[in-house]
Amino acid sequence: MGFIIKLLLTAVAVVLSAYLLPGVNVAGFGTALIVALVLAVLNAIVRPILVLLSLPITFLTLGLFLLVINALIILLADAIVPGFEVNGFIWALIFSIILSIITTIIDLITG
């Protein structure tokens, strides 16, 4: 049950983030729900591999390279989910930051 609620709240965060950014488009809440699910899968499977492979550069940049990895995950979700469009790397980077902020706020509110 907790996973479904987290998925729904992440979908809300995706819609809010897309609303705030002109370079990101989501076709509707159903698409946002699919994006949230795809992001959960990508973060569980692909992200740890990318983090491990980029450990030296992440260390050299004091962790800032993790933002690049997050943006790459967003761009990968863009390629997978029809109806979810991100207009370039910079928008993916900004979207990942905004999405993180919104999900953190939602997590603080919901406990």
**Is residue 26 a contact partner of residue 83, using CB atoms and an 8 Å limit?**
yes
Domain boundaries along the sequence of the chain: 2-110
pLDDT tens per residue across span 64-88: 999 999 999 999 999 999 999 999 9
Q: What is the pLDDT of residue 100?
A: 92
DSSP letter for each residue of 34-60: HHHHHHHHHHHHHHHHHHHHTHHHHHH
Q: What is the pLDDT of residue 1?
A: 63
pLDDT tens per residue across span 8-31: 999 999 999 999 999 999 999 999
